[in-house]
Structures are given as C-alpha cells and as structure tokens.
Structure 1
Amino acid sequence: MTYADLQEALRVLGLGERASLTEIKARHRELVKRHHPDAGGSGGDPDMIRRVNAANKVLQEYLAEYRFSFSEEEFYEQNPEERLRRQFMDAALWGKG
C-alpha cells in the first residue's frame, strides 16, 4: 500500500484526514447501502460498491498495522475538554481554588 492508495481510499469514502473506526465503518455501510442494487430506485451501482469495498479494505489493512500513540500529548489532542480541565482545575473560578 502506498500513501496515494490511502488518500484515494479516504477520497472514495468521503472521509477527511482524521476519522475514527466508528466513522469509517458507518460511512462504508452508508455507501454500500446507497449503491446496492436492492436499495431500490436507481438499480444500484456495482462498480461503486466494488470501489467502496476496496477503499474500506485499504483502510482496514492500514488500521490493522497502525501503531497507536498513548502519549499524554496525543491523549489531550484526542480529548480537548480534558486539556481544559487540566489547565484550569486549580483556578479559583473553575476548580478547587
């Protein structure tokens, strides 16, 4: 897999640079349902379903080998409300005071 493959997979699924596993799975389900022949209406788009499934496979393979960061900096990046709580918890107005 190349970085270009990863970017193409994100483009096909309509995802941005950051997406949770839950968001990836939900988007995959949504697109397969939308383009499935049994969905009614347009009769489906088998080519698009193949592209969506291939994109999902690329992302799943990437995630299977991804090394997660459990650093404090990454924790606060993912949980900004905790960063604020930590920053102001000792302030008289907001915290213990």
Structure 2
Amino acid sequence: MTYANLQEALQILGLGERATLGEIKARHRELVKRHHPDADAQGDPERIRLINAAYRIVSEYIAGYRFSFTEDEFYEQNPDERLRNQFMDFYRN
C-alpha cells in the first residue's frame, strides 16, 4: 500500500485526515447501503467493489497502527480532561 492508495481510499469513503474506528465503520455501512444493487434499482455493483476495496485498505492501515497509551497522547485525544486536570490541581492548592 502506498500513501496515494490510502488517500484515494479515504476520498472514496469520504473521510478526512482524522476519523475514529466507529466513524470509518459507519461511513462504510452508509455507502454500501446507498449503492447496493438490492436496495435500489440505481445500485452500482462496481461502486460497491470500490467502496469495499477502499475499506479494506483503510482497515489494513489501521490494523498495523501502534496505539500509544502515553499521558501526552491521552490528553491530545481528550483535551477536556487536560483542562479538568489542570483546574483540579489549581483548586486543590
């Protein structure tokens, strides 16, 4: 897989630079429902193949991702918790 393949897959799925696993799965389901030949007379089997191929590429990419459980990464993912933590320290003193 190349970066260009990943970018094309993200474009097909209509995803931005950041997405959660739940958002990726939901978007895949939504697109498959929309374009499935059994659901609509306008369904496009070729489009379904492209969507599924794009989903496989994105899934392959995220399967190899190493999750970071460091404190800095936690606060990057949860900025509200960083603020709460800072103010709790302030009020404790």
TM-score scaled to structure 1, two decimals? 0.88
| Separation of aligned partners in 1, 2:89 and 2:66 | 34
For this pair of structures, how many residues does the alignment match? 93
**Structure 1 counterpart of 2:24, one-letter code:** I
Structure 1 residue 70, shift from structure 2 partner? 1.2
Higher RCO (Cα < 8 Å, 6 or more apart): 2
Matched, 1:13 2:7: no
Instruction: Tell me the TM-score normalized by structure 2.
Output: 0.92
Name the SS for the 2:72 alignment partner.
helix
Partner Cα separation in structure 2 for residue 4 and residue 58 of structure 1: 11
* SS state at 2:16 partner: coil
Alignment of 1:55 with 2:59, yes or no, is no
The one-letter code sitting in structure 2 at the alignment partner of 1:33 is: K
Map residues 16-95 of structure 1 onto 2, 5 A cutoff. 16-40=16-40, 42-92=41-91
- Write the distance in 2 (CA, Å) between the matches of 1:80 and 1:20: 16
Uncovered stretches (5+) of structure 1, i.e. residues with no partner: none
Give the whole-Å Cα distance in 2 for the aligned partners of 1:12 and 1:48.
9
Q: CA RMSD in A?
A: 1.2
Q: Give ranges in structure 2 of 5+ residues lacking alignment.
A: none
Aligned sequence identity (%): 71
Question: Could you tell me how far apart the structure 1 residues matched to 2:69 and 2:9 are?
Answer: 26
Aligned structure 1 segments of 4 or more residues deviating by more than 4 angstroms: none
